[in-house]
Amino acid sequence: MGILNVTPDSFSDGGRFMDPSAAIEHARRMVAEGADILDVGGESTRPGAEPVSGEEELRRVLPVLEGIAAQAWTAVGAGTRPARPRVSIDTSKASVARAAIAAGADIVNDVSALRADPAMVELVAASGVDCCLMHMLGEPRTMQDGVGGVGPRYEDVVDEVRAFLEARLSFAVDAGVGEERIMLDPGIGFGKTVAHNLELIERLGELSAIGRPLVVGTSRKGFIGRILADAAGESEPVAVERRLPGTIATNVLALERGASVLRVHDVAPVRDALAVAAATLGGRWTARAGTTQTS
């Protein structure tokens, strides 16, 4: 899943793809590098992010979604891989999701797990699109504060995230969303400390045991910057552009522990790492269409 942020304030690439033509070109580049899903978002969910209106979110994403839908996508390899990538809309607003679906989106990626907008679950159930439900402590603006401003706290982060995801899965199914259409995301970095994030990755198998595909997004996140800074004896988290090795490491570990979808900024190097890791693990990663591994 390639990340396409159409925002001025995302932590990693904010402002780079506000122009629709730049965003569409980046989408084409990510698909050429191996992205199977394009995740388009018009509202930053970084820690401390302020919300934007639905109107502004639509103003940002609709031209990009329409441009992606209008592209003449070329099939990869022998043509067995679909020419058109799947498109995900990263939003918690039903109004945005509805317009995005009309513009060709196949997936609703809701970081609130259908809690922010009561109309969202009905829309997903009626539209027939897939959805991703993510765990987050609170909301983006306050998720790293925790109760009383003392930071995120859990008795057992994996047990609590699992219970939350199971509850949201049941809620969606009871509301008419087919279970086979639901993916789950533990929300790495969304109301978690470095230790929480690492424990979630280490025990990811306990979440994959729920039985739904797991989406994992660690790409360039702050906890990687802090780990790398500690390893180098630096006082401040390393810069975003230095976090690719840590992103690759966490994605390989997530794959080994059962992740199905890896949400990343740097598609080509991460996909290459996953292909090698999958071959080592027994070929569980989807090979590029038209290729055959013989040695």
From 93, 98, 263, 271, the catalytic residue:
263
3-state secondary structure of 222: helix
Most distant CA pair in the chain, distance = 57
Computed over its alpha carbons, how large is the radius of gyration of the chain?
18
Which residue, chain included where needed, has tokens 């109301």?
Answer: 191
| Contacts for 3 with CB less than 8 Å, ≥ 6 apart | 13, 39, 41, 217, 219, 263, 264, 265
Q: Where are the beta strands (DSSP E) in 42-147?
A: 86-90, 107-110, 130-134
CA–CA dist 46, 76 (Å, integer): 33
Tokens of 101: 């679906």
From 221, 243, 257, 271, the catalytic residue:
221
Asked if residue 207 lies in contact with residue 166, where contact means CB atoms within 8 angstroms, the answer is no
- Respond yes or no: is residue 192 known to be catalytic: no
- Respond yes or no: is residue 46 known to be catalytic: no
Query: Which amino acids are annotated catalytic?
Result: 221, 263
